[in-house]
Amino acid sequence: MEDQAPYGQPGPRNLAAPLAAWLRTQGWTTTEQVLPAMQTLSAHWYSAQQERFELTYLWQAAPHADATCRFRVLSYGQLPELLFASQHVRKVKDARLLVTNCVRYANARLLAQAAPTTS
């Protein structure tokens, strides 16, 4: 019996569902779109200063398998600021680190935790 042909490593897994679940635990609003050969995840979170942080995850199936994240922030009266674009992710941990290690987002989270809550 012949060995399988070495076609290289398989493409990245679809991380949209576990990534969406983690983002929801962090207070993000998520939307998923499932198509036959690809899936997108769009998520956003508002800071205490009303900055809108947006994360987009795109997964594509073979033959051009790929999984990338894009992260940007929108402030009122300013142009959108791209925090990172087209970062390849193979694990949920990679995506979490990209988000949590972003200094602008980390500062916004600290301010949100320190802000008084209105009841």
83 touches 102 (CB < 8 A): yes
| Stated pTM of the model | 0.82
Other beta carbons within 10 Å of 43: 22
- Report H helices in 33-118: 92-100, 103-114
Model confidence over 61-91: pLDDT tens digits?
Answer: 877 788 999 999 999 888 889 998 888 898 9
Between 115 and 72, the more confident residue is 72
- Report H helices in 9-86: 16-25
- For tokens 């508002």, name the residue: 46
CA–CA separation, 28 and 109 (whole Å): 12
Question: What beta strand segments (E) does the chain contain?
Answer: 29-35, 38-46, 52-60, 66-74, 81-88
Other beta carbons within 10 Å of 86: 9
pLDDT band at 57 (very low <50, low <70, confident <90, very high): very high
